[in-house]
Structure 1
Amino acid sequence: MEWYEALGLLLGAILVLMGIGMPVALAFLAANILGAWVFMGGERGVVQLLNNGWASLATFGLVPIPLFLLMGEVFFQTGLGARMFNAIDRLLGRLPGRLSYVTVLGGTGFATLSGSSMGSTALLGSLMVPEMNRRGYKTHMSVGPILGTGGLAIIIPPSALAVLLATLAEIDVGALLIAGVLPGLVLATFYGATIWLQTRIDPAAAPAYEVEPISLSKKLGFLLRDVVPMVGLMVGIVAMMIGGIVTPSEAAAFGALGVILLAALFRCLTLDALKASVKGALRVTLMAFLIVFGSATFSQILAFSGASTGLIRWTTGFELSPIAMLFVMFMVLLMLGMFMEQISIMLLTVPIFFPLAESLGFDLIWFALIMLLALEISFTTPPFGLLLFVMKGVAPPQTTMRQIYTAAFPFILCSLLVVALIVAWPPLALWLPGR
């Protein structure tokens, strides 16, 4: 069987199974079993494939996923996130469009601690949009920053999706987490500049309103009590990883323990909140482990059938420059993101794109960060970006999908600008990891 026939069989089986409603991880597993039967010698090949798949789960690199997820769940379920948002709101005073800035500042902190774009968007949408609408904010000033900030969870550590991508691609988890710090902060800065520009162009988009003045001592109290501990936890985790003091797994353990201790210190750690946190983290962890299992076996089938080497040989035969090939891969990710969710995209593309990127001479950490940014952009890419529908679900009923699409556009441009900066100046991504 030719390589393109093998690739067509595997991808076709996956798409058909997904089309009839089978969960993504199970669709990959079923297609892998079919591929093992066809290409690896029937029942014996299936047994070998399953053994290899179990081996892919017995890796220490997967430990940060459940711990980072638990960290975010505790932060959300115990109300620590709400405390931080309220404090930032009081600190900004009468700044024009301050609730939009609160969304970016508080959302960046929450995205960092939660590592979940959907969770971050759902929390911000339910907390901030009704209040911003009540204050007379136009839809693009309330919805846009939330959609943008939700995507920051993908690239600012601790990011469960970054850990998953690094595991699937078999690259350094810690280096990828650290590489996202500077681009994530630059992206958050661009978001703030976008809000400032929008308020200058149309002051009525974020009307000023009276706020109760608070003294400097009270501001310091809000800052030290409700902001510094949460942000300090994140900074401490990243600093320990950058300094080589802890591994990503140990950093995740410290982070989860730190959030639990903070919740206990603030007397908001209840048994119900802890149960809900463990349940939420466990649900997503099981899905992530199924995905790792499916992706590892899919990569092996592609290699064994000759599909991956044939595809790389075919694509490099066009004699495009490495940057042109990077652009093609980036556009493929964006187009897939219009119709598929991010984990499915990773499962389809990682076994193909990373060997191709290595053959083109790209630094794989640099390439993985660009891929994460592409996934972040595709979260909000019309018509079917996942965060667009999460926002529709939590926004007031009168909010239309057209308004949500329009609000997302300036923040998509910000993300594209960060991608361009990383391509033009790789040290933006590679300086902190020391590559």
Structure 2
Amino acid sequence: MEWYYTLTIILVPLFILMMMGLPVAFSFLTVNLVGAYILMGGFSGIEQLVLNTVGSITSFTLIPIALFMIMGEAMFRSGIAIDLMDTLDKWFGKLRGRLALMAVGGGVLFSTLTGNSMGSIALLGSSLTPEMEKRGYAKSMSLGPILGSSGLAIMIPPSSLAVVLGVIGDISIGRILIGIIVPGLLMALLYVVYILGRCHLQPHLAPSFDVPKVSMGEKLRATGLNIVPLSVIVFSVVGVIFLGIATPSEAAATGAFATLALAAVRRRLTPKVFGDTMFSSANISVMVLLIVSGAVTFSQLLAYTGATYGMVDAVLDLDISNEAIVFMMIMLVAFMGMFMGPLPIMLITLPIFVPVVQQFNMDLIWFAALFLVAIETGATSPPFGAALFVMKAVAPRGTTMGDIYRSAIPFIILDLVAILLIFFIPELVTFPVDLMFR
């Protein structure tokens, strides 16, 4: 059977099941079971599938997913994230567009502490958008910065999606986590330049208003209490990896411990907070691990049937440059994000894309960074980007989906600019990685 017939037989039922509303994990499980029975020799194929599934979820490399979830849940449930926002508020003073800039600053800091983009939207949206509306901010300058900056959680360690990408694509997780730091900060810089520029050209979008004067001593005191301790958490995740002290799994453990320790020192790690943190992070982790196990066996099914190798050969025969093919892959990921969540996109595309990139002898860490930016772009893209609906849930009463769509567009364009910069300047990704692993 030709590879494209096999691929169609596998993918069409998968899409049908997901469109019917079956959860992603169970959609992949169903397709894997039926595919293994039909294409891998009946019950012996299913037995092999079970063995592959067990092997995929008992991998030590998956530990950071659960530990990063604990970090994020503890940060939000203990109220440390709120303290962070209060400190940023003191520093921005009367700067025009200060609340929009706070959204970006908060997005960057939350990204380095939680790796949870949807949680970031929920917190920033519920705390900042009502204040922005009260101060007369236009929708485009209140909703857009939150949508854009919350996606930085995908791009700045600790990033659970980066770990999932590494597992599915069989790429070094440590290298990915280091490689995405500069692209994430680049995106934040683009957001800041855009906000400052647009507020200068169109002051009515973000009216200035009087704020209580805060002395330098009070600013420094708040920074010392609420931000400096967080640097220990950042170092315990990113620093120990960069210095070669710990592996990503060990760094995730030190990060989770440091977060819980900080909450305990501040007397906020109550039994209820601890219990809720563990229960919620376990729920999310089990879901992610189930999806990952389905993805790994799905990729093995594609390889066993020859569909993967057939696709690679077909791509290599195209009469266009390798770079153009990779760019089309990235744009396809961004397009799929308009209709699907990040995890299903990863599960469907990575088993196909990674072998092609390897065949081209291109840097997989560079490709992974591009892939994650495209995932982030898709998550904020109309009509069905996941972040848009989280924003709708926490936005002030009277906010329409049209308002959210229009607010997201400038930041989608900025994300595309970031993709182009990373595509044409690979050193943005490769230099920190080479510096660490030389």
Q: TM-score range by the shorter chain?
A: over 0.9
Structure 1 residue 139 corresponds to structure 2 residue 147:
no
| Residue in structure 2 matched with residue 112 of structure 1 by the alignment | 112
Q: Distance in 2 between matches of 1:379 and 1:235?
A: 28
Within 1, Cα distance between the matches of 2:223 and 2:110? 16
Question: Is structure 2 residue 234 aligned with structure 1 residue 234?
Answer: yes
Q: How has the CA–CA distance of structure 1 residues 113 and 19 changed in structure 2, closer, same or farther, with 3 Å as cutoff? A: same
CA apart distance, 1:231 = 3.8
Unaligned runs of 5+ in 2: none
Q: Check the 8 A contact 1:88/1:227 in 2, yes or no.
A: no
Cα offset, 1:232, TM superposition: 4.2
* Structure 1 residues 159-188: Cα deviation after superposition (integer angstroms, max 9, x where no partner): 011001101111100000011111111111
Measure, in 2, the Cα distance between the counterparts of 1:340 and 1:212.
44
Q: Matches of 1:338 and 1:207 in 2, distance apart? A: 32
Gaps of 5+ in 1: none
What letter matches 2:380 in structure 1?
T
Equivalent residue, structure 2, for 1:45: 45
Q: Which residue does the alignment assign to 2:67?
A: 67
Aligned to 1:15: 15
1:66-117 deviation digits (Å, cap 9, x = unpaired): 0011000000001000000011101111111111111111121112211111
Match of 1:361 in 2: 361
1:164-203 equivalences in 2 (<5 Å):
164-203=164-203
Q: Where does residue 297 of structure 1 map in the other structure? A: 297
Per-residue deviation, 1:254: 0.8
**1:43 aligned partner, one-letter code:** F
| Structure-2 residue corresponding to 1:337 | 337
Percent identity over the alignment is 43
- TM-score where L is the length of structure 2: 0.97
Could you tell me which amino acid in structure 2 is paired with residue 154 of structure 1? I
Q: Name the residue aligned to 1:5.
A: 5
Identify if the C-alpha distance between structure 1 residues 100 and 231 changes in structure 2 by more than 3 Å, giving closer, same or farther. Answer: farther
Does 1:415 pair with 2:415?
Answer: yes
Identify the residue that residue 32 of structure 1 maps to in structure 2: 32
**How much does 1:302 deviate?**
0.4
* 1:397 to partner: Cα distance: 2.2
Query: What code does the residue aligned with 2:254 have?
Result: F
Q: Deviations over 1:205-250 (max 9, x none)?
A: 1111111112111111011111222244214421211110111111
The CA distance in 2 between the partners of 1:417 and 1:128, in whole Å, is 26
Read off the aligned partner of 1:207 and give its amino acid letter: P
For these two proteins, the number of residue pairs brought into alignment is 435
Tell me, yes or no, if the aligned pair for 1:96 and 1:208 is still in contact at 8 Å: yes
- The residue that corresponds to 2:271 in the other structure is 271
Query: What's the CA shift string for 1:134-153, capped at 9, x where partnerless?
Result: 11111111111100011100
Aligned residue for 1:93?
Answer: 93
The farther-off stretch of 282-291 and 232-241 is: 232-241
Distance 1:112 1:395 in 2: 24
Which deviates the most, 114-123 or 73-82?
A: 114-123
For 1:194, the aligned partner's letter is Y
**Structure 1 residues 102 and 235, CA, compared in 2 at 3 Å: closer, same or farther?**
farther
Q: Determine if contact 1:109/1:231 at 8 Å carries over to the other structure.
A: no
Are the structure 2 counterparts of residues 152 and 251 from structure 1 closer, same or farther at C-alpha, using a change threshold of 3 Å?
same
Structure 2 CA distance, aligned partners of 1:8 and 1:267?
56
| Aligned residue type for 1:257 | F
- SS where residue 228 of structure 2 aligns? helix
RMSD over aligned Cα atoms: 1.1
**Distance in 2 of aligned mates of 1:314 and 1:216:** 63
Residues 270-299 of structure 1, C-alpha deviations (whole Å, 9 max, x = no match): 111111111111111001111111011111
Match for residue 83 of structure 1? 83
Between stretches 267-276 and 122-131, larger displacement belongs to: 267-276
2-side partners of 1:156 and 1:272: how far apart? 29
Contact 1:66/1:281 (8 A) holds in 2: yes
Quote the Cα distance in structure 1 between the aligned partners of 2:396 and 2:357: 43
Alignment partners' CA distance in 2, 1:16 and 1:102:
42
4+ long deviations beyond 4 Å: none
Note if contact 1:91-1:222 (Cα within 8 Å) is conserved in structure 2: no
* Mapped partners of 2:413, 2:335: distance in 1: 16
8 Å Cα contact 1:72-1:115 kept in structure 2: yes
Whether the 8 Å CA contact 1:378–1:385 is kept in 2: the answer is yes
Which amino acid letter does the alignment assign opposite residue 300 of structure 1?
Q
Can you list the C-alpha shifts for 1:308-330, whole angstroms capped at 9, x where unaligned? 11111112211210111012111
Aligned equivalent of 2:55: 55
State the partner residue of 1:399.
399
Structure 2 Cα separation of the partners of residues 388 and 409 of structure 1? 11
Q: How does 1:317-328 map to 2 (within 5 A)?
A: 317-328=317-328
How far has the Cα of 1:342 moved from its partner? 0.8
Question: Does 1:280 find its partner at 2:280?
Answer: yes
* Residue identity opposite 1:244 in structure 2: G
- What is the CA–CA distance in structure 1 between the aligned matches of 2:115 and 2:126, rounded to whole Å? 18
- Please tell me whether the aligned partners of residues 379 and 386 of structure 1 are also in contact (alpha carbons under 8 angstroms): yes
* C-alpha separation in 2, matches of 1:282 and 1:67: 10
Task: Provide the rounded CA distance (Å) in 1 between the counterparts of 2:107 and 2:296.
Answer: 33
Give the 5 Å matches for 1:246-261.
246-261=246-261
Task: Please state if 1:378 is matched with 2:378.
Answer: yes
